[in-house]
Amino acid sequence: MKSLFSTLLLVSLLLMIAPSFFLVDAAEAEAAAPAVTPSSNCNAMCNKRCEKAGIFKRCFSYCCVCCSKCNCVPSGTSGNKSECPCCRDMVNSKGKSKCP
């Protein structure tokens, strides 16, 4: 029981001495975990979606905006927009579809 107590004391001392180390660690883990999965998915899906686009970079960047907002990208290189209604319904100020 005594050793458990001193272990706890040691741990809490460590936490007090090096809070920034632990905080950075936790923040990094938190930032990495949820962000990586959807965005890497979007990268892959948008790569496919824009494969045949005239201006890949432009298509890809719009696609990524749509994907991160909608969490989906229609399949194929064009059309199929009903698969992702959220993308289909995103329009710019001129009423044109924003998403590739």
Ligand X SMILES: *[C@@H]1O[C@H](CO)[C@@H](O)[C@H](O)[C@H]1NC(C)=O
Which parts of this chain interact with ligand X (CB under 6 A)?
75-80
Which of 79, 95 has the CB closer to ligand X?
79
Residue 43 CB, nearest distance to ligand X (Å)? 19
Residue 76 CB, nearest distance to ligand X (Å)? 2
Residue 78 CB, nearest distance to ligand X (Å)? 5
- Name the residue number minimizing CB distance to ligand X: 76
Which of 6, 82 has the CB closer to ligand X?
82
Q: Is 18 helix (H, G, I), strand (E, B) or coil?
A: coil
Q: Residue 12: what residue type?
A: S
Beta bridge partner(s), residue 91: 97
* CA neighbor of 60 nearest in space, from 46, 42, 39, 75: 46
Residue 75 CB, nearest distance to ligand X (Å)? 4
Which of 34, 79 has the CB closer to ligand X?
79
Letter string b/e over residues 61-75, b meaning 16 or more CB atoms within 10 A of that residue's CB: ebbbbbbeebebbbe
Which of 45, 64 has the CB closer to ligand X?
45
